[in-house]
Amino acid sequence: MAISGGCFCGAVTYKVDKRLRDARSCHCSRCRKAFSAQASAYAEVEPGTFQWLSGQDLLTSFESNQGFGLQFCSRCGSTLCGTYGGDVHGITLGCVNGDPEIEIGHHIFVGSKAAWEVLPQGVTMYEEGPPVAD
């Protein structure tokens, strides 16, 4: 199942050749600013399955701490993906065309959510990050 997506203006497009994994929504203050929303909606991609189809020359990158970053369309500002060590790590679910066939599995950093946000009942949430598997 190939997944396609792109930015708001349509100049930057991509495809992912395998199913997405580990969909989550982060409510920390950094994600609120990066995604201009109450939280992020993000899912990881399998290494080697992501490909830019058009507009790669229009990408602008921001790298935060510890090798993590984001890539944006320089024309319309859409946040398209997250990177780690310069490689695409995951995609923003809001830029996917159609149904990505994955649901948000958990909400993280809800302890620092915006005061005006009301979280849905019955979802898995963590005050900070999810527990790390041993």
Question: Over pLDDT 90: what percentage of the chain?
Answer: 60
96: which residues sit within 8 A by CB, 6+ positions away? Answer: 3, 4, 5
Asked if 61 and 52 touch (Cβ cutoff 8 Å), the reply is: no
Q: Is residue 37 part of a domain?
A: yes
Q: Is residue 78 part of a domain?
A: yes
Q: Is residue 30 part of a domain?
A: yes
Give the pLDDT confidence of 38-75 residue by residue, as tens digits: 888 999 999 999 999 999 999 999 988 788 899 999 99
Q: How much is the pLDDT for 65?
A: 76
Q: Is residue 131 part of a domain?
A: no
Q: Is residue 120 part of a domain?
A: no
Q: Is residue 36 part of a domain?
A: yes
- The number of folded domains in the chain is 1
Q: Is residue 75 part of a domain?
A: yes
Give the amino acid at 15.
Answer: K
- Per the DSSP assignment, residues forming a β-bridge with 59 are 73
Chain centroid to CA 117: how far?
A: 19
Containing structural domain, residue 80? 3-112
Give the pLDDT confidence of 25-35 residue by residue, as tens digits: 888 888 888 88
Q: Is residue 117 part of a domain?
A: no
Q: What's 11's domain CATH number?
A: 2.170.150.70
Q: What is the pTM of this model?
A: 0.87
